[in-house]
Chain A
Amino acid sequence: MPRLETLSEVARQVLVTFPCLVHETAPWTPLHKPLAQSTLALVTTAGLHRRGDVPFITDPRGGDASFRIIPAATSAGDILQSHASIGFDHTAFYNDINVTFPIDRLRELQERGVIGQLASDAYSFMGAIRNPRRLQEETGPEVARQLKAAGVDAVLLTPT
């Protein structure tokens, strides 16, 4: 999430004109128990998936709003990135998956007892979705349903 003023004029204009949703209120839900007793799920918009999964596609109609499930036990070597954008430096991900999908760091927090439990599944979406309708009406609520069914108390969302 760079500061706008650090970007090129072209990149800045792309972001300033991005059709971002504008909300008047925030859906505030308190965490009802300490993190150390909570189940935390990792959700990302980095366009990640397991090796062998169907990659994300480049969809000019507003973006690929589908999602992939990544079991938290998946090894880093079996996670790929098919994000359609070259607007960010992919070499960071080549070097260390945790720079965008901090699965090893969260396992460490679980071992230290900072979080109660890491959810058994992580979820991955594509970023840069210009038309969020399907995300809002279908895939987003579906992931929320699955998270609730799995007893997840809190979510850490990592954007690109």
Chain B
Amino acid sequence: MVREHAMATKAPRALFVPFPFGSALGKPNDPILQHRVLSASLALFEHQAGPVLEDFPEEESPGPLLQASAVRRRDNAVLSDPADEVTALRGCYERWVEEHNGRTAVGLCGIPQRRWRGVIRFLEAYAHGEESDMKERLETVSIPQFVRYCIDDLKAFYYEARMVQQPKATAEDLHAWFWGETALGQLIPTVAQRMHAADDPTLKAVAYGIAR
């Protein structure tokens, strides 16, 4: 959503916050800024007539959101097998979970991490056009959606582990590392390519949401 959308829909009370998408409250781990945003939002209730569209006076300009297609691969820096990468990153990931009181963004696919080497093999087989599946997939979840949940979990696992390794890394650093230096960052676009090649709008839509 952007300011122009708020104007078109005539939301009764809207605060335009010039922050990156996904960060309506400004910045992570900045409760003071988040409270300023909330205070400005709740102040909209003081207006007696509307619609009201006000601008929050502070700005966090979005940095470049690096997608896979914009990152040059540095293949000399990667383990060649993403399954080995998962194993190598597990210690850092566990530190992340411990340092964040058990909080992790991993958990969509429902597969325990001891089976993640199997998830990698499943994704590799899928990327190569083979008929592949995992017994943990619920019948109500289609294979393409399941692929996305597996990939979203793996991304969260990698990023959380990397933020332990490089706590001062910017978001741009993290995306450049993931897409440019990891074996998983090389595998995911091949999964997306298989989906794009199919004449199926669902597959194309899922592909657009896993790698661009």
User: Does B associate with A?
Assistant: yes
State the Cβ distance, A95 to closest chain B Cβ, in Å. 4
Residues 37-80 of B at the A interface (beta carbon under 8 Å):
37-38, 41-42, 45, 48-51, 61-62, 64-65, 67
A146 at the interface (CB under 8 A from B): no
Interface check A111, CB cutoff 8 A? no
Interface-lining segment among B82-90, B128-136, B203-211: B203-211
Residues of B within 8 A of A55 (CB): 108, 145, 149
Taking CB atoms and an 8 Å cut-off, the chain A residues in 69-119 that contact chain B are 75-77, 80-82, 84-100, 102, 104-106, 108-109, 114-115
User: Does B112 have its Cβ within 8 Å of any Cβ on chain A?
Assistant: no
CA distance A6 to B155 in the complex (A): 26
Contact B20 A58 (CB under 8 A): no
Instruction: Contact check, A86 vs B8: say whether CB atoms are below 8 A apart.
Output: no
List the A side residues contacting B104 at CB < 8 Å. Answer: 77
Q: Mark A19-33, 1 if CB is under 8 A from B, else 0.
A: 011111111111100
Q: Does A144 contact B (CB under 8 A)?
A: no
Give the contacts of B125-181 with A (CB-CB under 8 A).
140, 144-145, 148-149, 152, 155-156, 159-160, 163, 171, 174-175
The winner among B16, B20, B211 for most chain A CB atoms within 10 A is: B20
CA distance A28 to B10 in the complex (A): 10
Q: Could you tell me if B62 and A26 are in contact, using CB atoms closer than 8 angstroms? A: no
Pair B29/A96 contact, Cβ less than 8 Å: yes
Chain B 4-46 residues near chain A, CB threshold 8 A:
4-6, 8-12, 16-29, 31, 34-35, 37-38, 41-42, 45
Given contacts A1-B3, A23-B10, contact A90 B105 (CB under 8 A): yes
Report if A1-B205 is in contact (Cβ < 8 Å); known contacts: A26-B50, A99-B28, A154-B45: no
Q: Count residues of A near B (Cβ-Cβ below 8 Å).
A: 70
- Are A92 and B171 touching (Cβ within 8 A)? yes
Using Cβ atoms and an 8 Å threshold, which residues of chain A touch B17?
A: 1
Which one of B1, B101, B174 has the greatest number of beta carbons of chain A within 10 Å? Answer: B1
A-side interface mostly: loop
Bound form: Cα–Cα A155–B48 in Å: 17
Contact B61 A6, beta carbon cutoff 8 Å: yes
Q: Is the CB of A87 within 8 A of B1?
A: no
Cβ–Cβ contact A98 & B209, under 8 A = no
Q: Which residue of B lies closest to A11 (CB)?
A: B65
> Cβ of B174: which chain A residues have Cβ within 8 Å of it?
91
- Among residues of A, the one whose C-beta sits closest to the C-beta of B61 is A6
B105 touches A2 (CB 8 A): no
Known A20-B9, A89-B21, A156-B42; 12 more pairs at CB < 8 Å = A1-B16, A1-B24, A3-B2, A16-B4, A21-B9, A77-B102, A80-B105, A88-B22, A92-B23, A99-B23, A100-B25, A102-B37
Show 22 A/B contacts (Cβ-Cβ < 8 Å), sorted by A. Answer: A2-B19, A3-B3, A4-B2, A7-B62, A18-B5, A26-B11, A46-B22, A58-B206, A61-B201, A76-B103, A80-B107, A84-B205, A84-B206, A86-B212, A88-B20, A89-B171, A98-B31, A98-B34, A99-B22, A102-B37, A102-B38, A114-B42
